[in-house]
Amino acid sequence: MAYGQFEQFIRNMSRVMGAVNTRLQRDLTLRTRVARRFSMVEVASLLGVDTTYLTRISNEEPAFPDGEKRGRERTFSPSEIMLIRALIGSNPAAKRPYLHWRRKGQPVKVVTFGAQKGGTGKSLSAAHFAQYVNLHYGLRVGVIDADPQATVSLYFADQSLPLFQPNTPTLADFMGVDTPGADDLTERTPQDLDAVWHPTPWPGIKLIPGGANIQNGDISLFFMSQRSHVPVYRVLKDTIAKWEEFNGPKTAVENLRGDNGRFDHEAYETALNETLDVIVIDQQPSLTLMQLNGLIAADSVVIPQTMKGFDLATLATYVSNIGEYLEFIMGFEADIEIGAGEHMVLPTIVQEQNTQDTDQIVELYRKAPREVLQVWYGRSDAIANAAEEYKSIYEYLPPSSRRVSARAFMANANAVNDALVQRIWPDLPPREFAAKFIEERWG
């Protein structure tokens, strides 16, 4: 058998890539992960309290973190913000909840970001959503990277995460579809399932990283669909249910203080890591069996979508393909519960300078006010730079020339996420960000 040119090319490139240093820029990003710190004023705004109130608590509460002092200013990390939230929220005198953890018996929410087209901001929207609900509500978030390209993983990984290593467990391992050609799912105990979640530098945010072996999942599922009775479209849904049986919430916010009223740091650390309040899935732009599992497992599906004509054509094929799959699935499992929550199209990377994009949004919204969000992501040049280092707008430290655009994009991200939260958790107290955006653009 002769070696073709292509095989020679692949061999050469494999040899070259083995020797090229791809780590330099990556290491720099990983080392400075969540380096951003938040001022007292910013922390007060995240908690929705007055700065004077927060300052008073910081003097009265012995467990209040010192933060870092720079000049007269004290700044806090996301972990310290979570602790402050727990301190205020567990205080018996608290007038409202600050730590919006789910209670025993409430199921974990699953929110999937998916679209047919690449480059519509799925990964960035998913990362922002996870960080927003963590910063603004204290939620414990599980991020599942369902993309072999592992984009959303790059927004969360630090040096402790062996990304792109062949034996780092991915979604395929979580679902038990890691052995192509196997007749049945790999059995994993709920404890083993919990161990697939990798901690991140964000407090209470865990990650199942993406990677090439997600593709093994598709091959495995394909063979199982031919040879066994595994319901190949609901493996992830069932796996999450199995994980949930033993890894649900155990500690309530009231239990974070002992009888003497003193804050119990150990109980807090345990509670912060004992479960997840929401699972966020970042999809690959396609409708493979693995991606179908991400949709079937979801309570809510968010479709980040650019508004150009050809891009909208991909939305048309995406929804019609999903429609066909759903019909097929209901054909042999009529009572399956799929997507009981709210679903929405999120316009992204909108160019507001010319009215083409916004006209398109208005038209879509008029036709489908329930399905299309009134809040969108505008195109920002701050994020192009942030994304060079794989930093979301919530952790990006802009150089002074980009401070204004970074601030504007953070306000934009807050508006989008406030709108998503209101649809996904109607019971959570809304913030004013989405209303302000709608007033400014539609008012």
Ligand X SMILES: Nc1ncnc2c1ncn2[C@@H]1O[C@H](COP(=O)(O)OP(=O)(O)O)[C@@H](O)[C@H]1O
The token pair that represents 194 in the structure block? 């919990």
**Of 63 and 312, CB closest to ligand X:** 312
Part in contact with ligand X (CB under 6 A); list of ranges 74-82, 121-129, 260-268, 396-404: 121-129
Q: With CB cut-offs between 5 and 8 Å by kind, which of ligand X, Mg ion, none does residue 379 bind?
A: ligand X
What is d(CA 158, CA 210) in angstroms, rounded to the nearest whole number? 14
Part in contact with ligand X (CB under 6 A); list of ranges 5-13, 120-128, 135-143, 160-168: 120-128
220 makes contact with ligand X (CB under 6 A): no
Q: Which of 99, 127, 111 is nearest to 249 (CA)?
A: 99
To ligand X, the closest distance from the beta carbon of 188 in angstroms equals 28
Contact 124, 302 (CB under 8 A): no
124 makes contact with ligand X (CB under 6 A): yes
Q: Across-strand partners of 273? A: none
151 makes contact with ligand X (CB under 6 A): yes
What is d(CA 45, CA 285) in angstroms, rounded to the nearest whole number? 35
305 makes contact with ligand X (CB under 6 A): no
User: Which of 90, 91, 112, 123 is in the footprint of ligand X by CB under 6 A?
Assistant: 123
User: What number of helices (H) and strands (E) belong to the chain?
Assistant: 18, 10
**Of 122 and 206, CB closest to Mg ion:** 122
- Cα torsion 259, 265, 266, 270 to 10°: value is 110
User: Which of 107, 119, 429, 430 is in the footprint of ligand X by CB under 6 A?
Assistant: 119
Q: With CB cut-offs between 5 and 8 Å by kind, which of ligand X, Mg ion, none does residue 119 bind?
A: ligand X
Q: Which of 173, 341, 205 is nearest to 275 (CA)?
A: 205
Part in contact with ligand X (CB under 6 A); list of ranges 48-56, 73-81, 114-122, 433-441: 114-122
**Of 78 and 304, CB closest to Mg ion:** 304
Sheet architecture: strand order including 68-70 = 38-39, 73-76, 68-70
User: Which of 121, 201, 347, 398 is in the footprint of ligand X by CB under 6 A?
Assistant: 121
What is d(CA 420, CA 301) in angstroms, rounded to the nearest whole number? 11
Closest-CB residue for ligand X?
Answer: 387
Contact set for Mg ion, span 114-173 (CB under 5 A): 122-123, 151
Longest Cα–Cα distance in the chain:
79
Half-sphere exposure at residue 61, Cβ-oriented, CA atoms within 13 angstroms: 26
To ligand X, the closest distance from the beta carbon of 89 in angstroms equals 32
Q: With CB cut-offs between 5 and 8 Å by kind, which of Mg ion, ligand X, none does residue 120 bind?
A: ligand X
**Of 99 and 111, CB closest to ligand X:** 111
Instruction: Tally Cβ neighbours within 10 Å of residue 309.
Output: 8
**Of 35 and 384, CB closest to ligand X:** 384
Q: With CB cut-offs between 5 and 8 Å by kind, which of Mg ion, ligand X, none does residue 124 bind?
A: ligand X
To ligand X, the closest distance from the beta carbon of 376 in angstroms equals 9
Judged by CB under 5 A, how many residues of this single chain contact Mg ion?
3
What is d(CA 222, CA 292) in angstroms, rounded to the nearest whole number? 12
Contact set for ligand X, span 361-400 (CB under 6 A): 377, 379-380, 383-384, 387
Q: Which of 229, 113, 240 is nearest to 176 (CA)?
A: 240
Q: With CB cut-offs between 5 and 8 Å by kind, which of Mg ion, ligand X, none does residue 426 bind?
A: none
**Of 91 and 153, CB closest to ligand X:** 153
What is d(CA 153, CA 143) in angstroms, rounded to the nearest whole number? 8
**Of 282 and 418, CB closest to Mg ion:** 282
User: Which of 84, 139, 349, 424 is in the footprint of ligand X by CB under 6 A?
Assistant: 349
Contact 213, 147 (CB under 8 A): no
Give the burial string for 219-256 (b: 16+ CB within 10 Å, else e): bbbbbbeeeeebbbbbbbbbbbeebbeebbbebebeeb
118 makes contact with ligand X (CB under 6 A): yes
Residues that bind Mg ion (CB under 5 A): 122-123, 151
Residues that bind ligand X (CB under 6 A): 118-124, 151, 348-349, 377, 379-380, 383-384, 387
